[in-house]
Amino acid sequence: MIKTTRRQFLKYGAVGAAIGATGFPSILRAAEPLKIGQVNASPAAEIGWAKQHALGIDAIKAEFGDKVAVTVIDNIFMPQDAERVFRELASAGNKLIFGTSFSLGTPMQKVAPRFPKVAFEHCSGIVHLPNLGTFEAKYYEGAYVAGAAAGYMSKAGKIGFVGGFPIPDIVGPANAILLGAQSVNPKATCNVVFLNSWYDPGKEKEAALALLSQGCDVVCGMTDTGTCVQVAGEKGAWSIGYASDLAKFAPEFHLTAFMMDWTSDYVRAAKGVADGTWKSEERWDGLKAGVVKLAPFNKKIPAEAQAKLVQLEADIGSGKVHPYAGEIKDQDGKVRVPAGAMLSDKDIRATNWLVAGMSGKLA
């Protein structure tokens, strides 16, 4: 038999009143941090794509402190494994889960409908669901400015480009680099090579050396390494960095880098989930929003040219200049964008052709 003394009764009553007054859920909310997960296809790194996404997580931590608990899972490349990891994170109570590679898309699309109360954010994704949003950068805006810098500095007018994979997110910026260079030097050309790997410094070094021996005097690598910048620097050739500022690999010869800054995307998503206003969005930002940025220009670029580059950056940000404004022909001379027109957003995201002046194949 349970006897309740008057004293106990009062005590429980007081606790009950306290809960009633402050509201039970808010007590829980204060006690339990918001759990956030991030899944990366590649290993953690000091520079490049993985680093920029790690900075996104750092920004969330800086903003929310101990109100969030973050779990980062690296090196999940295979879709079979990714699906399990996303499920596991969602079942473990993570309310916001980032996937940072295109290859994680299909697994996220399969997992998201099973966890309708979890917000999924897919970087470089193309499919949207009620609880699966995407964010992506307009790389080509930064690439165009960097290409213009190459146009000013290249004596040979020949750029070498090393791409990870021949996917639109890489082919598009490659085109933009050459278009930017041609805006300064109409005769500029570009040789492209694809590694079919994001991280293969040995193969990348060979590719960079081959491009240099073909007479290219500016090299850009869209991979997860600083190899192209380093090799070009050793050979006394200019270079353009990608993803992070890669100047430390060749301080003398690093012209600039088109960098990604995802911090606004990360913080926005976390804020949305924290206060219950998160919605599945399709965010695609560039220079204007600061998601794409340019690293400081090399001091050897003449002041006059630097001023023009800064102006170009501002004009692209404001929409006055569009990197893919016509007329643009492809490698085979076919007109892809007629004069006076612009490449549509959909076509930009599906680029699978190279502009006139490119040598190389998408393979």
Partner 1 sequence: MRFTIEQRPEPSAVMRVVAPVAAIALTLVVGAGLFAALGHNPVAMLDAFFIAPLNSLNGLSELLLKASPLILIACGLAVGFRANVWNIGAEGQLIMGAIAATGVGLFYPNPDSVLLLPLMFLAGMAAGMAWAAIPAFLRARMNTSEILVTLMLTYVATLFLSWLVHGPWRDPAGFNYPQTAMLPPYALFAPFDDAYRVNHSVFITAVAVVVMWIFTDRSFLGYKMAVAGAAPLAARYAGFRESAAIWIGLLAGGAAAGVAGMAEAAGPLGQLSPNVSPGYGFAAIIVAFVGRLNAFGIVLAGLLMSLLFLGGETVQVSLGLPSALTRVFQGVLLFFLLAADFFIFYRIRRVGGQN
> Could you list the residues that contact partner 1 (CB under 8 A)?
43-44, 71-75, 77-81, 83-85, 87-89, 91-92, 102-103, 106, 110, 114, 126, 165-168, 196, 349-352, 362-363
Pick between residue 83 and residue 141 the one whose CB is nearest to partner 1: 83
CB atoms inside a 10 Å sphere around CB 219: 28
Task: Report the nearest approach of partner 1 to the CB of residue 347 (Å).
Answer: 10
Task: Report the nearest approach of partner 1 to the CB of residue 61 (Å).
Answer: 13
Task: Report the nearest approach of partner 1 to the CB of residue 37 (Å).
Answer: 8
256 close to 305: Cβ distance less than 8 angstroms: no
Task: Report the nearest approach of partner 1 to the CB of residue 2 (Å).
Answer: 35
Pick between residue 196 and residue 214 the one whose CB is nearest to partner 1: 196
Pick between residue 106 and residue 280 the one whose CB is nearest to partner 1: 106
Pick between residue 102 and residue 266 the one whose CB is nearest to partner 1: 102
List the strands of the sheet with 254-260, edge to edge: 292-294, 254-260, 238-243, 218-222, 158-163, 189-194, 358-359
Task: Report the nearest approach of partner 1 to the CB of residue 41 (Å).
Answer: 10
CA angle 192, 165, 37 (to 5 degrees): 145
Pick between residue 67 and residue 349 the one whose CB is nearest to partner 1: 349
CA distance readout (Å), 140 to 3, 236, 301, 313, 327: 75, 26, 21, 12, 17
Query: How far apart are alpha carbons 26 and 235 in whole angstroms?
Result: 61
150 close to 181: Cβ distance less than 8 angstroms: yes
Pick between residue 103 and residue 264 the one whose CB is nearest to partner 1: 103
Among 125, 86, 161, which Cα is nearest to 265's?
125
Report residue 86 as tokens. 């996303």
Task: Report the nearest approach of partner 1 to the CB of residue 39 (Å).
Answer: 10
Query: How far apart are alpha carbons 155 and 151 in whole angstroms?
Result: 8
